[in-house]
């Protein structure tokens, strides 16, 4: 509304300057030829290169072929990106706001709420039609994963995949410290005990649980939230936010025990590249226990192309479920907990060809496409159980997460204010790692939270 | 215009009624042509600078966000964002850090080092001068993405060159001394501009003036104060103004420390980046940008007063 | 005698320290690209060219350098020509409120280079149909750099004796001839400075090209540099250091070219 | 070639400063004309107004019979040498000299031939490839002259052409310039603040003060009969004695002494009138013996002028100066008598020369 007026001025300014419009690639054109674009935060030769190659070299030719067989002349263009998620999100938002951007777009599951509220994405049923609701793939996607793509009861996108978080540990260090190689802690105390033993056996950093603002969302997802779930809390439940509850105090208390008790390296949490460094240190055998997602296994210590390769990953790296503070004290009364996230893929509301765009979207999530995409060491947990059964067979960790962890997992609330709440949580952990008592940090967090979510009324008593 | 009449008798000349006016500036531009010279630049500036800048100032009065409800329907909130900024201790911390950053790296670091280099190399020619100047300028023209990487590598706790040279492995420069680190970094990065500017300015100081000051027995410092400084006052003003402005808005500390640890090096430009891009709070970010503009204005007026009044 | 000796020792000590200060950070860039397994440590490289091979095979890396060149040279030309004309007129013709106007524009230029300006600039580019075009990006970056450029060049122009122009004028030269024959050559070192300053600015700019260009084949090296991270945001030092070096070379070459050809210095007055 | 005529020329700067106040002046064809005056008197403004670099607020500039008041400098067919010579630092000597021809679209070969010819005439053959920065002050001045000559303009304007040269070179250049102007015969107006320069070089000169011309004449006229006390004080390497006087019949009472009424003022004075009596030190004879109509006093200062001495006498608390030839200088403190030459002494009433 505010911006509309300005566009008039801008147009006047443009015509006054006599600026010639420079070509803008747009879909359509004459005849039956349909041009579609698909964009991801992936780029050949850079970030998520495998995904980019998959789209360019397999999805596009196969899809065009399939459309041709149906008698439609469809050409698809891939628009790569490959930058920080925040930058990708910024650009995507600007594009969507202006009615630009690719026809098929990828977003992080956690952005669904804010994008929907801003009108940047639309329910697929409204935009595409009933075929989106009745897509046969839905039956293969577990309810929880479908929830990722759902906002206020409506499906805005198709889920692209999911993940889960576990405790990784170095079996070599464990053996040296006299700990079992098939370690599975059943309470937080057991984690602390193991860390203490690692410490006395000379391990420089017994345990790494991300803290502080420098690691950003990695602190929240691989730190606060799984622990909070283990203490029986959720960051938001039934529209109410969790403030300085006992669960929050317990969570921050664990941080206090780790970083105040010399079991972790508080400095590392502050470093701008702290997470990279932690990966490096784990690979070098300097870290005993690390809370991470399956990406760590696939992309970091992967002996083939990880950023911190471990040639003996399969022998040395062990993994265990994250225990509740005490058995049965986790969310939903669970003994073990985890957190999951996942990407979404949807149709740009500004597309000129919603039906074809949806066909392309659905095609990228067809069993064939997913199997092709996860070939050759690019295996990940797809949203489809039918596909997962096949592709995860040779992958013990991913099978473990898919079968043991995903049933226990929880998701972040897909609301617009979440990113700011996340920062507040990171700040609370930073404070504790820096020496502030856990109760004090929890109280400060609650105060900050009140400012973010619109007063104490929105915080659970 | 008058025409030539029968030659030498001046008496026969026909004077035109009122002499036609034409411009009397050095090049004979005249206001009209001067306008034509300025117009393309001004038009570009008007469309691509003034207009969006005013728009930013306007955004600062709304609750506009990158996403969410406020993206679809931003509300006019008056001065709320400014009140929020002025009552937010983080903003004040950030402002204070920015002052340290500008004072330390621009006013002290770049100006002093740049002047020292210019002064030392003033009467030199040859390899030494080209090598020193070349290296200093290299630090200035390399892209910040590359340069920040170099400094991350230099200051790394474990494998960094600096710790290796000093024999203090594990010393966490970026964590324990984040402001010092970015101040030294920015001094390194930006000294070239001051060096070149002062190099040129010193070239304009007549050697005879220095000669006579030296004959009068003036010490090095007295020569600087009494002869050099009055001559280059204008250059100092330009230099201070530009580098302060640039340093105020310099985003590259983010690439080194990401504002951390715990906001201890979160200068205003980084603060705005975090607010506007990472949190998507564009209205508030725009308001802080406007405040930065006002601070810059105050700084500029201060410099002008300081250096112009003594003329 | 002793005093001059002490002075010399002091001079060379200081120069040595400053040289070290400016050189040491650069060592990594010289070593890492030629190392097969680079870390943050500066080590003697094993002189592999494998990393360069990777970059050469990268689908966008080399083209992005070409795009950077287009953007940098285009912006530099526009900035130099427009700021020189404007600065000249402003320096020579009395316009009421001229200085205040310049200061105001200079201050506004700081707001436009900040993050908060991205939305207005993006929307503006959309409305003017300048999105995803090098031309649009060049115009927008020019707009942001012009005030500081005018400010700096005006200093050079002010320092140039007016008698040059008056002399040419008495001989019958037109204002444009005066600018071409006399003013431009006299302030050429200043113009060269502005050109390199502009190039360096554009060369390192990430956010604006990233937001305003959607076609990756139009993206400059600054954007491609940011894509050389992994899914989790980890730096791949092999490609990053190598691309960093390649990314730095053109701007250094441009500097050397300009410095050789036009005497890249701030206006040192007329060499008498 | 052409005459230059100024009619009622007025220049008022924005802000109301009147730099030129209704000036009338004619410089005939071929004349070497000097504009002399202290700094700020308007002489440079006048020259620049003739050139067209300043626009006249009122009046007219006529060059060669053409009213050029509204004509751009380039259209006035004049050439100018600036005080700092304004040689283009990026062009070599040859290009500098040829520049006016380049503007006139003379072909490259032709204009360089002309530059070489003019350069040779001024002894610049060996320097044609140099840049101005590599030349001495004297060489730069000759290049500037050569450039002016290359234009073949109707009139030349020189703004303080010698002031940037050191003292010795200045004398040489003075002779050179005068000789050159004779040979070329081009109407030339030059500005100087150095009265000796004006006296030495000019055919005629104008002495200016505060936007007005106070006297126009040949150097001899101006030196011998300054039209007013301003000119009298300004001209001459030693200032003229300007002494308060009262008319007493046939004589004037000056500093307690009686001197005869000068020849030029005879019959024009009234008894008892208060005037100023002026006589140049050069037109005084000094004698140790008392003489008729002399000014008597003690020698208080002796200044060596080389071939002569300047003697300052304290005559009843009024200082009077006289030039004494070499070998005749008095001793300090001695009683002396200065006798004015009656045919050279002048009388000023209200600052203006009293003369028939």
Residue D127 shares a structural domain with residue D166: yes
Chain C: closest CA distance from residue D91 (Å): 9
Q: Which residue of chain A is at minimal alpha-carbon distance from B174? A: A271
Report the neighbours of A using a cutoff of 3 or more CB pairs below 8 angstroms. Answer: B, C
CB-closest option in C163, C172, C271 to D86: C163
Same domain, A124 and A239: no
CATH of the domain at B244: 1.10.3720.10
pLDDT higher than 80, residue D101: yes
Is B70 part of a structural domain of the chain?
no
Instruction: From chain D, pick out residues whose CB is under 8 angstroms from the CB of C172.
Output: 73-75, 100, 103-104
Q: How confident is the model at residue A153 (pLDDT cuts 50, 70, 90)?
A: confident
The pLDDT confidence band at residue D1, using thresholds 50, 70 and 90, is low
**Across residues D192-205, what is the average pLDDT?**
89
How large is the average pLDDT for residues A102-119? 91
User: What is residue B46's predicted lDDT score, i.e. its pLDDT?
Assistant: 93
Touching partners of C (3+ C-beta pairs < 8 Å)? A, B, D
Residues 6+ apart with CB under 8 A from C72: C198, C199, C202, C203, C251, C254
D65 touching B (Cβ < 8 Å): yes
Residue closest to A360 by CA, chosen among A35, A122, A95: A35
pLDDT tier for residue A454 given thresholds of 50, 70 and 90 = confident
Mean per-residue pLDDT, A358-381:
90
> A158-159 and D284-287: which strand pairing?
unpaired
| Contact (Cβ atoms closer than 8 angstroms) between residue A83 and residue A107 | no
Rounded to an integer, the average pLDDT of A201-213 is 94
**Band of residue C266 on the pLDDT scale cut at 50, 70, 90:** very low
DSSP per residue over C98-132, as a string? HHHHHHHHHHHHHHHTSGGGHHHHHHHHHHTT-TT
pLDDT of residue B26: 64
CATH code of residue A439: 3.40.190.10
Q: Does D262 touch chain C (CB under 8 A)?
A: no
Q: Which residues have a Cβ under 8 Å from the Cβ of A315 and sit 6 or more positions away?
A: A171
Q: Which of residues 88-127 of B touch A (CB under 8 A)?
A: none
Q: Are residues C55 and C237 in contact, defined by beta-carbon separation less than 8 angstroms? A: no
The residue of chain A with its CA nearest to that of C216 is A80
Query: Are residue A335 and residue A346 in the same domain, yes or no?
Result: no
C-alpha B37, offset from chain centre: 25
Give the domain CATH number at D299: 2.40.50.140
Determine the average pLDDT of the residues in D59-77.
87
Q: In chain B, which residue's Cα lies nearest the Cα of A119?
A: B72
Instruction: Flag if C169 and B49 touch (Cβ within 8 Å).
Output: no
Do residues D282 and D157 both lie within one domain?
no
- Domain containing residue A333: 165-339+414-458
Q: Are residues D155 and D77 in the same domain?
A: yes
The CATH number of residue D189's host domain is: 3.40.50.300
Q: What is the mean pLDDT of residues B170-177?
A: 86
Question: Do D248 and D230 fall within a single domain?
Answer: no
The answer on A240 and A266 residing in a single domain is yes
Residue B24's pLDDT band (boundaries 50, 70, 90)? low
Number of domains in chain A: 2
Give the span between the Cα atoms of B309 and C19, in whole angstroms: 38
From A373, A388, A422, give the residue that closes a domain. A373
Structural domain ending residue among the three candidates D234, D267, D283: D234
Residues of A with CB under 8 A from a CB of C: 3, 6-7, 10-11, 13-14, 19, 21-25, 43-48, 79-84, 87, 90-91, 94-95, 98, 100-101, 273, 275-276, 279, 295, 299-300, 307-308
| Claim to verify: residue A432 and residue A289 sit in the same structural domain | yes
* Domain C58-262 CATH superfamily: MetI-like (1.10.3720.10)
For the cut 60, the answer to whether the pLDDT of residue A166 exceeds it is: yes
Q: Is the pLDDT of residue B21 over 60?
A: no
Q: Which of B60-74, B204-218, D18-32, D124-138 has the lowest mean pLDDT?
A: B204-218
Nearest to C166 among D86, D104, D151 (CB): D86
Per residue in D320-354, pLDDT (tens digit) is: 898 988 888 888 888 888 888 878 888 888 888 88
Indicate the range of B6-10, B71-75, D143-147, D304-308 predicted with least confidence. B6-10
User: What residues of chain D lie within 8 A of the CB of C186, using their CB?
Assistant: 88-90
Cβ-based contacts of B9 with chain D (< 8 Å): 65
The 10s digit of each residue's pLDDT in D243-273 is: 888 888 888 888 888 888 888 777 787 888 8
Domain-terminating residue out of D212, D234, D256: D234
pLDDT class of A229 with cuts at 50, 70, 90: very high
Q: Both A183 and A210 in a single domain?
A: yes
Q: Encode D174-193: b = buried (16+ Cβ within 10 Å), e = exposed.
A: bebbbebbeebebbbbbbbb
Among residues A355, A373, A391, the one where a domain terminates is: A373
Check C211 against A100: CB less than 8 A apart. no
Instruction: Kindly state whether D329 is in contact with chain B, defined as any CB-CB distance less than 8 angstroms.
Output: no
Check whether residue A224 and residue A320 sit in a common domain.
yes
- Do A22 and C136 make contact, defined as CB atoms within 8 angstroms? yes
Segment C103-125 shows an average pLDDT of 85
- What is d(CA D8, CA D31) in angstroms, rounded to the nearest whole number? 21
Residues A188 and A311 in one domain: yes
pLDDT band at B23, cuts 50/70/90? Answer: low
Distance (Å) from the alpha carbon of A384 to chain C's nearest alpha carbon: 22
Give C119's contacts in chain B (Cβ within 8 Å).
59, 64, 66, 282
Residue A66 confidence (pLDDT)? 92
How far does the CA of residue A20 sit from the closest CA of chain B (Å)? 14
Shared domain check, D275 and D200: no
> CA B237 to CA B305: how far, in whole Å?
10
Residues D230, D246, single domain; the answer is no
Question: What are the pLDDT digits (tens) for D298-318?
Answer: 888 888 888 888 889 888 888
Contact yes or no for A9 and B257 at CB 8 A: no
Which residue is closest to C54 within chain A, CA to CA?
A45
* Chains B and C touch, using 3 or more CB pairs below 8 Å: yes
Cα torsion A77, A83, A84, A87 to 10°: value is -70
Calculate how close chain B gets to C86, using CA atoms only, in Å. Answer: 4
Kindly give the pairing relationship between strand A343-347 and strand A409-411. unpaired
Which residues in chain D have Cβ-Cβ distances shorter than 8 Å to C161? 84, 86
Q: Which domain holds residue D340?
A: 241-353
A252-303 residue pLDDT tens: 999 999 999 899 999 889 887 788 889 989 999 999 999 999 989 988 898 8
Give the HSE-up count for residue A358: Cα atoms under 13 Å, Cβ half-sphere: 22
For residue B62, the chain A residue with the least C-alpha distance is A2
Q: How far apart are CA D347 and CA D265, in angstroms?
A: 7
Residue A18 lies in a domain: no
A234-270 residues labelled b (16+ CB within 10 A) or e (exposed): bbbeeeebbbbbebbbbbbbbbbbbbbeebbbbbbbb
Please report the sign of the dihedral spanned by the C-alpha atoms of residue B144, residue B150, residue B156, residue B161.
negative
Beta carbon pairs, A and C, within 8 Å: 114
* Domain match, A142 and A78 both: yes
Residue A4 has pLDDT above 50, yes or no: no
Q: What pLDDT, on a 0 to 100 scale, did the predictor assign at position B179? A: 94
| CB atoms closer than 10 angstroms to residue A290 | 25
A239: confidence class by pLDDT, cuts 50, 70, 90: confident
Q: Is the pLDDT of residue B102 over 90?
A: yes
Task: Note whether A76 and A151 are same-domain residues.
Answer: yes
B266: containing domain: 81-308
* B-interface mutation test, from C114, C137, C237, most B Cβ less than 10 A away: C114
A272 closest CB neighbour out of B46, B62, B258: B258
Q: What pTM did the predictor assign?
A: 0.83
Residues of A in contact with B172 (CB under 8 A): 267, 271
Report the mean per-residue pLDDT for chain C: 85
Residues D201 and D246 in one domain: no
- Is residue A1 in a domain? no
Same domain, D278 and D210: no
Q: How many CB atoms lie within 10 A of CB A1?
A: 8
Contact of C80 with C195, CB cutoff 8 Å:
yes
- Say how far apart CA B261 and CA A156 lie, in whole Å: 38
Instruction: Kindly state whether residues A320 and A237 are assigned to the same domain.
Output: yes
The answer to whether residues D216 and D320 belong to one domain is: no
Domain total for chain D? 2
Give the lowest-confidence range in A49-63, B5-19, B148-162.
B5-19
The Cα of A294 is separated from the nearest Cα of chain B by a number of Å equal to 25
Radius of gyration of chain A from its Cα atoms, rounded to whole angstroms? 24
Strands D257-260 and D251-254 come out as antiparallel
Same domain, D216 and D247: no
Flag if D70 and B1 touch (Cβ within 8 Å): yes
pLDDT at D64: 86
Q: Is residue B28 part of a domain?
A: no
Burial degree of A332 (CB within 10 A; 0-12, 13-18, 19+): exposed
Instruction: Check if the beta carbon of residue C75 is closer than 8 Å to that of residue C136.
Output: no
Strand order in the sheet with D58-63: D18-27, D4-12, D58-63, D66-67
> Which of these three, D173, D207, D234, is where a domain ends?
D234
In three-state secondary structure terms, A208 is strand
Checking if the pLDDT of D225 tops 80, the result is yes
Q: What pLDDT does residue A121 have?
A: 94
Cα–Cα dist B14/D7, whole Å: 12
Q: Which of residues A323, A352, A373 is at a domain's end?
A: A373
CB-based contact, B55 to chain A, within 8 Å: yes
The rounded Cα A207 to chain-centroid distance in angstroms is 23
CA distance C188 to chain A (A): 29
Same domain, A64 and A124: yes
Structural contact between residues D274 and D244, judged by C-beta atoms closer than 8 angstroms? yes
Give yes or no for a contact between A405 and A321, defined as CB atoms under 8 angstroms apart.
Answer: yes
Q: In this complex, do A270 and B64 lie within 8 Å of one another by their Cβ atoms? A: no
**Run of H or E including C77:** helix C61-92
Give the model's pLDDT for residue A8. Answer: 43
In a domain? residue A390: no
Q: Is residue B22 part of a domain?
A: no
CA contacts within 13 A on the Cβ side of D127: 24
Q: In this structure, is residue A396 part of a structural domain?
A: no
Chains D and A touch (3+ CB pairs under 8 A): no
């Amino acid at each position: 509304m505010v911006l509309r007026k300005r566009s008039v001025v801008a147009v006047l300014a443009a015509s006054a300057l006599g600026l010639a419009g420079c070509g803008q690639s747009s879909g359509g054109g004459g005849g039956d030829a349909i041009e579609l674009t698909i964009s991801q935060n992936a780029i050949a030769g850079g970030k998520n290169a495998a995904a980019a190659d998959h789209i360019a070299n397999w999805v596009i030719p196969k899809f065009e072929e399939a459309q041709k067989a149906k008698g439609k002349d469809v050409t698809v263009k891939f628009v790569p990106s490959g930058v920080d998620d925040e930058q990708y999100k910024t650009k995507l938002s600007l594009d969507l706001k202006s009615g630009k951007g690719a026809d098929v777009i990828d977003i992080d599951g956690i952005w669904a709420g804010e994008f929907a509220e801003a009108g940047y994405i639309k329910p697929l049923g409204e935009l595409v039609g009933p075929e989106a609701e009745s897509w046969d793939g839905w039956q293969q996607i577990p309810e929880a994963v479908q929830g990722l793509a759902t906002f206020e009861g409506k499906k805005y996108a198709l889920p692209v995949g999911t993940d889960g978080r576990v405790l990784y540990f170095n079996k070599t260090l464990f053996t040296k410290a006299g700990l079992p190689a098939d370690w599975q802690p059943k309470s937080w105390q057991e984690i602390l005990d193991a860390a203490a033993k690692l410490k006395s056996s000379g391990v420089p950093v017994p345990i790494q649980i991300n803290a502080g603002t420098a690691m950003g969302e990695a602190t929240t997802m691989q730190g606060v939230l799984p622990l909070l779930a283990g203490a029986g809390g959720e960051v938001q439940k039934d529209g109410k936010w969790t403030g300085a509850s006992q669960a929050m105090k317990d969570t921050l208390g664990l941080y206090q025990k780790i970083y105040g008790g010399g079991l972790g390296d508080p400095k590392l949490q502050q470093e701008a590249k702290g997470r990279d460094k932690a990966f490096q240190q784990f690979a070098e055998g300097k870290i005993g226990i690390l809370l991470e997602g399956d990406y760590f296994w696939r992309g970091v210590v992967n002996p083939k192309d990880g950023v911190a390769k471990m040639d003996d990953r399969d022998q040395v790296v062990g993994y265990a479920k994250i225990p509740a503070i005490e058995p049965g004290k986790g969310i939903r009364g669970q003994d073990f907990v985890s957190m999951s996230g996942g990407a979404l893929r949807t149709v740009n509301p500004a597309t000129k060809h919603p039906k074809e765009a949806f066909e392309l979207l659905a095609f990228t999530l067809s069993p064939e496409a997913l199997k092709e995409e996860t070939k050759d060491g690019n295996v990940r947990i797809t949203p489809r159980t039918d596909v997962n059964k096949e592709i995860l067979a040779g992958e013990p960790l991913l099978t473990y997460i898919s079968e043991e962890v995903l049933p226990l997992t929880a998701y972040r609330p897909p609301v617009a204010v979440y990113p700011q709440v996340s920062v507040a949580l990171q700040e609370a952990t930073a404070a504790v790692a820096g020496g502030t008592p856990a109760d004090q940090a929890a109280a400060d967090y609650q105060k900050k939270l009140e400012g973010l979510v619109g007063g104490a009324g929105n915080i659970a008593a | 215009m008058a025409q030539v009449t029968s030659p030498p008798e001046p008496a026969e000349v026909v004077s035109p009624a009122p002499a036609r006016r034409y411009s009397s500036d050095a090049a004979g531009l005249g206001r009209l042509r001067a306008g034509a010279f300025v117009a393309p630049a001004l038009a570009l500036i008007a469309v691509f600078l003034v207009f969006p800048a005013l728009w930013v100032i306007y955004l600062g009065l709304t609750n506009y966000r990158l996403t969410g409800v406020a993206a679809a329907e931003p509300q006019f909130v008056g001065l709320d964002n400014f009140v929020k900024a002025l009552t937010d201790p983080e903003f004040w911390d950030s402002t204070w850090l920015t002052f340290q950053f500008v004072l330390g790296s621009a006013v002290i670091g770049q100006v002093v080092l740049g002047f020292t280099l210019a002064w030392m190399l003033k009467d030199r020619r040859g390899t030494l001068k080209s090598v020193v100047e070349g290296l200093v300028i290299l630090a200035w023209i390399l892209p910040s993405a590359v340069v920040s990487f170099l400094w991350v590598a230099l200051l790394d706790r474990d494998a960094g060159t600096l710790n290796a040279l000093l024999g203090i492995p594990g010393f966490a420069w970026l964590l324990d001394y984040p402001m010092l680190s970015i101040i030294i970094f920015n001094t390194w990065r930006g000294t070239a501009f001051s060096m070149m500017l002062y190099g040129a300015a010193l070239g304009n100081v007549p050697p005879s003036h220095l000669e006579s000051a030296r004959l009068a027995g003036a010490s090095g410092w007295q020569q600087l104060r009494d002869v050099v400084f009055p001559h280059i006052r204008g250059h100092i003003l330009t230099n201070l103004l530009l580098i302060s402005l640039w340093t105020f808005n310099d985003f590259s500390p983010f690439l080194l420390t990401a504002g951390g640890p715990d906001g201890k090096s979160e200068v205003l430009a980084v603060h705005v980046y975090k607010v506007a891009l990472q949190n998507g709070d564009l209205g508030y970010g725009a308001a802080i940008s406007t405040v930065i503009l006002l601070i810059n204005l105050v700084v500029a007026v201060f410099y002008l007063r300081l250096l112009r009044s003594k003329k | 005698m002793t005093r001059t000796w002490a002075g010399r020792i002091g001079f060379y000590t200081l120069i040595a320290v400053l040289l070290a200060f400016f050189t040491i950070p650069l060592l990594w860039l010289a070593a890492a690209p030629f190392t097969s397994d680079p870390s943050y440590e500066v080590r003697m490289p094993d002189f592999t060219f494998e990393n360069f091979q990777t970059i050469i095979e990268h689908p966008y890396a080399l083209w992005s350098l070409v795009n950077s060149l287009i953007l940098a040279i285009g912006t530099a030309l526009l900035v130099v020509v427009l700021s020189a004309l404007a600065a000249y007129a402003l320096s020579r013709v009395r316009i009421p409120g001229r200085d205040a106007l310049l200061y105001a524009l200079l201050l506004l230029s700081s707001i436009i280079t900040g993050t908060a300006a991205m939305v207005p600039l993006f929307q503006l580019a959309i409305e003017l149909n300048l999105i995803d075009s090098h031309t649009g990006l060049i115009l927008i970056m020019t707009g942001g750099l012009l005030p500081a450029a005018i400010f700096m060049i005006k200093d050079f122009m002010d320092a140039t004796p007016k008698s040059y122009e008056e002399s040419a004028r008495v001989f019958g030269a037109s204002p444009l001839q005066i600018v071409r024959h006399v003013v431009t050559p006299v302030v050429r070192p200043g113009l060269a400075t502005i050109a390199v300053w502009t190039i360096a600015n554009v060369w390192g700019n990430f956010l604006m090209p990233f937001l305003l260009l959607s076609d990756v084949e139009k993206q400059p090296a600054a954007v491609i540099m940011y894509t050389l991270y992994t899914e989790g945001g980890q730096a791949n030092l092999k490609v990053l250091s190598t691309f960093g070096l390649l990314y730095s070379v053109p701007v250094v070459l441009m500097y050397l070219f300009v410095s050789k050809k036009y005497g890249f210095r701030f206006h040192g007055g007329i060499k008498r | 070639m052409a005459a230059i005529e100024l009619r009622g020329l007025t220049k008022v700067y924005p802000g109301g400063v009147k730099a030129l106040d209704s000036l009338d002046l004619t410089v005939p064809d071929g004349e070497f004309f000097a504009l002399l005056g202290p700094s700020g008197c308007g002489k440079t403004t006048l020259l620049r107004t003739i050139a067209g670099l300043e626009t006249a607020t009122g009046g007219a500039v006529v060059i060669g019979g053409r009213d050029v008041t509204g004509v751009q400098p380039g259209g006035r067919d004049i050439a100018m040498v600036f005080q700092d010579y304004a040689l283009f630092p990026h062009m070599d000597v040859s290009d500098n000299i040829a520049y006016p021809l380049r503007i006139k679209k003379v072909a490259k070969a032709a204009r360089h031939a002309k530059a070489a010819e003019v350069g040779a005439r001024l002894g610049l053959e060996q320097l044609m490839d140099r840049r101005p920065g590599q030349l001495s002050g004297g060489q730069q001045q000759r290049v500037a002259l050569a450039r002016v000559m290359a234009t073949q303009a109707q009139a030349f304007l020189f703004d303080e052409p010698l002031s940037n040269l050191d003292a010795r070179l200045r004398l040489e250049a003075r002779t050179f310039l005068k000789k050159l102007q004779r040979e070329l015969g081009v109407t030339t107006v030059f500005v100087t603040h150095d009265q000796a320069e004006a006296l030495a070089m000019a055919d005629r000169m104008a002495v200016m003060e505060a936007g007005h011309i106070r006297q126009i004449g040949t150097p001899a006229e101006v030196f011998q009969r300054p039209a007013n006390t301003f000119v009298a004080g300004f001209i001459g390497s030693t200032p003229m004695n300007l002494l308060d006087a009262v008319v007493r019949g046939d004589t004037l009472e000056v500093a307690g002494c009686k001197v005869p009424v000068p020849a030029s003022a005879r019959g024009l004075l009234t008894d008892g009138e208060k005037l100023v009596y002026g006589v140049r030190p050069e037109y005084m004879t000094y004698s140790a013996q008392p003489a008729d109509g002399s000014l008597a006093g003690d020698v208080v200062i002796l200044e060596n002028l080389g071939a002569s001495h300047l003697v300052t006498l304290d005559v009843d608390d009024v200082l009077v100066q006289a030039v004494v030839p070499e070998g005749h200088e008095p001793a300090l403190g001695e009683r002396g008598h200065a006798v004015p030459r009656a045919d050279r002494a002048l009388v000023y009433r209200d600052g203006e020369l009293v003369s028939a």
